[in-house]
Amino acid sequence: MDLLHNLGLGFSVVFTLGNLAYCFAGVLLGTIVGVLPGVGPVVTIALLLPMTFGLPATTAIIMLAGIYYGAQYGGSTTAILMKLPGEPSSVVTAIDGHAMAQKGQAGVALGIAAIGSFVAGTLAAGFMALFSPALADFALEFGPADNFALMAFGLIGAVVLARGEPLKAIAMVLTGLALGLVGTDVSSSQERLTFGAASLADGLSFVVVSMGLVGVSEIIANLERSEAEQNAQHHIGRLLPNRAELAASWKAILRGTGIGSLFGVLPGAGAALASFTAYSAEKKLAKDPSRFGQGAIEGVAGPESANNAAAQTALVPLLTLGLPSGATTALLLGALTIQGIVPGPQIMNDMPDLFWGVIASMWIGNILLVILNLPLIGLWVRMMRIPYRLLYPAILLFCAIGVYSVANTAADVFLTALFGVLGYVFIKLDCDPAPLLLGFILGPLMEENFRRALIITQGDFHVFVARPISATLLLAALVLLVTLLVPAIRRGREVAFQE
């Protein structure tokens, strides 16, 4: 069987000492940085990215995937213990998870989150193995026009999910696309938008943009608030759920896995929407919905399974179509590009060891996550109590040296400072940076496909509506855009965001 053969290949890639060690290091580092207060998964990945640049491509992406779900799990830990969700996808976990912690059941909440994440991760990796090849085969038929349409659709998807006014999110996408154009134009070798700065001739490094916009700006914004009270729960209690608790949550875990796996693949949807949907599904299905908010274990099990499943299936469009579905996967795409890999359907044929190695590493990573988290929880709790005044100089330092190490130039550090200030202004103006990041990373790819499509047709724009795939995707993007701007639906979206 093909699938078994492929999985065998994947496991043979992971089960080398080096790759196992980097997978472990990724999960460990991701969790350590992820549990630090005020450091969400996006920042965690941005901070740890430079550490993977020197590694071979497959090892680097295995480690990054480990960092990715380690950070995600770290975020859930702070959500449960401190009611400080590091990212939108653990906002709902904070509700019932923290309520459980206040009742002295912090350990059980963490335990069920780990078990749910493990089950979800394992099943989601299975879905990926089953469905990715078909999707990649389909995507191999994409021409430049189709690729362009696909990315446009992905960008609109990001707008739908961005916080705040949709028009502003669209403007952020355009700003990101423009930043992606900075540098030397490939076909004319003429410099564009560099304003004469020699350091911009090679374009803006995505490490600079992401560290500045999400890392440095977050620090500035956090410092502005007075140091929050550290109300981490000290009492953890037993970690393993008992039989009654497992009986109450196993269905929620499976439902969460299903919801998460589905939402993860949708461009722009991602983990946040998955965990919200799983939470409201559990609440609707419960015999006594009033328990929710008071520490219902299904309210932790469902969303936690959903966001982990979604975090993993989000890699499907990334690895098969080259389409990131959110800020985190956009960072992974940037990392792949730095490794010299163009993500897309050809990965599965050209680099089967990379693709299947990543899938297999997910199983391993999820096992490591459980092994690591349950015994080390005491350490995480202590790390959470590190005061921010000691933490932010360290984060800033890692930003600085991380950015410097990419190209060994101080100019990149100065640019990071600039993007930090810009990012802070965006935060103050309620402009979500995620769409900008996505636009920035997709910009050069979109331009290339746009140009190629028009070279083939000698400047005839009809190609974008004449090809069925491209036409369908653009129509879908247009429908999304219109619904977003129609006042009635807009109000519904605002309500949904407030919940």
User: CB-wise, 176 or 268, nearer to another protein?
Assistant: 176
Q: Is 411 in the site for another protein (CB under 8 A)?
A: yes
The one among 21, 285, 394, 478 contacting another protein by CB under 8 A: 394
Name beta bridge partners: 33: none
Q: Is 353 in the site for another protein (CB under 8 A)?
A: no
Residue 247 C-alpha from the chain's centroid: 31
User: CB-wise, 114 or 422, nearer to another protein?
Assistant: 422
Query: Contact region for another protein (CB under 8 A) — 81-89, 168-176, 199-207, 303-311?
Result: 168-176
Q: Is 430 in the site for another protein (CB under 8 A)?
A: yes
**C-beta separation of 218 from 392 below 8 A:** no
Considering only residues 212 through 241, tell me which ones interact with another protein, judged by CB under 8 A: 216, 219-220, 223-224
The one among 112, 177, 266, 330 contacting another protein by CB under 8 A: 177
Q: Is 428 in the site for another protein (CB under 8 A)?
A: yes
In the structure encoding, which two tokens stand for residue 92, read together? 């709902």
**Least distance CB 91 / another protein (angstroms):** 22
Q: Is 137 in the site for another protein (CB under 8 A)?
A: no
Query: Contact region for another protein (CB under 8 A) — 5-13, 106-114, 320-328, 424-432?
Result: 424-432
Smallest CA-to-CA distance from 160 within 482, 474, 475 is with 482
Q: Is 405 in the site for another protein (CB under 8 A)?
A: yes
User: CB-wise, 451 or 493, nearer to another protein?
Assistant: 451
What letter does residue 87 receive in the DSSP assignment? S
In the structure encoding, which two tokens stand for residue 311, read together? 């975090």
Find the distance separating the first CA and the last CA of the chain, reported in whole Å: 47
Cα separation, 318 vs 265, in Å, equals 9
Smallest CA-to-CA distance from 332 within 413, 270, 272, 276 is with 270
Phi-psi group of 164: left, alpha or beta (phi > 0 → left; psi -120 to 50 → alpha; rest → beta): left
| Helix, coil or strand: residue 431 | coil
Q: What is the DSSP string of 93-155?
A: HHHHHHHHHHTT-HHHHHHHHHHHHHHHHHHHHHHHHHHHHHHHHHHTT--HHHHHHHHHHHH
The one among 175, 277, 308, 329 contacting another protein by CB under 8 A: 175
Count of residues in the chain: 499
**Least distance CB 457 / another protein (angstroms):** 8
Q: Is 448 in the site for another protein (CB under 8 A)?
A: no
* Site for another protein, rule CB under 8 A: 50-51, 54, 165, 167-168, 170-171, 174-175, 177-178, 181, 185, 187-188, 190, 192-193, 195, 216, 219-220, 223-224, 389-390, 392-394, 396-401, 404-405, 408, 410-411, 413-414, 416-417, 420-421, 424-425, 428-431, 447, 450-451, 454-455, 457-461
